[in-house]
Amino acid sequence: MPAAVAKHTSEPMAAPAKKRRKLVAAGIIVAVIVIMAAGAWLLLIKKGSDPVPKNISQAVNFPVYYPSPVPQGYRLEKNAFSVQDDIVFYHLVDGDSTIVISEQTSPPNPLDLKSTPGFGEVPSTAGEAAAGLVNGSPVAIVVTEKTMINIQGSKNTSRDLVAKLAQAMSAPQ
């Protein structure tokens, strides 16, 4: 009696290769969807990232500027804003170093920052800006069309940091 012989076929491995291609295609589609969702989420976060509380910006008749980006180590919190006599005040904090920023309507004839003794011109996209020292504390002033911004650091804050803040002032969106 002849023994049963198993037949081996030399059929190509077509099914697993097709399956692999389908899995790769599905993976690519999922990756594209995840990337698009992440991009949309980042746009929504950026769009709502104005740190100035609405009640503050609505309480005054000038645009309220803010630093973007905030210097490394410093925090700008929404509860740091207040309005007194049509002047907006807020502060940035990093440990024992505080930077106070005040903003008000630009005067009709603002002072010439370039000729202010002890101050040097600072390039700023927000407006004309200068930085210097007042009583040993670094100060920067930015004058825009509608807003005058005063940035004052504590004595242990560097003049360069205050000048960089003047450069980083962003208009509200």
Q: Which domains are seen in the chain, by residue range? A: 54-170 (3.30.200.100)
Taking 90 as the threshold, does the pLDDT of residue 172 lie above it?
Answer: no
Half-sphere exposure of residue 84, counting CA atoms within 13 Å on the CB side?
A: 5
**Cα 159 from Cα 161, distance rounded (Å):** 5
In this prediction, residue 47 carries a pLDDT of 45
Q: What is the DSSP string of 55-83?
A: HHHHHSSSPPPEESSPPTT-B--GGG-EE
**Cα 102 from Cα 141, distance rounded (Å):** 10
Taking 70 as the threshold, does the pLDDT of residue 13 lie above it?
Answer: no
pLDDT digits (tens, 9 = 90+) for 107-153: 988 878 778 888 999 998 898 999 998 888 999 999 999 999 999 99
Residue 66 burial (CB count, 10 A): 22
pLDDT digits (tens, 9 = 90+) for 80-108: 999 999 999 999 999 878 899 999 999 98
- pTM passes above 0.85: no
* Average pLDDT of the chain to the nearest whole number: 82
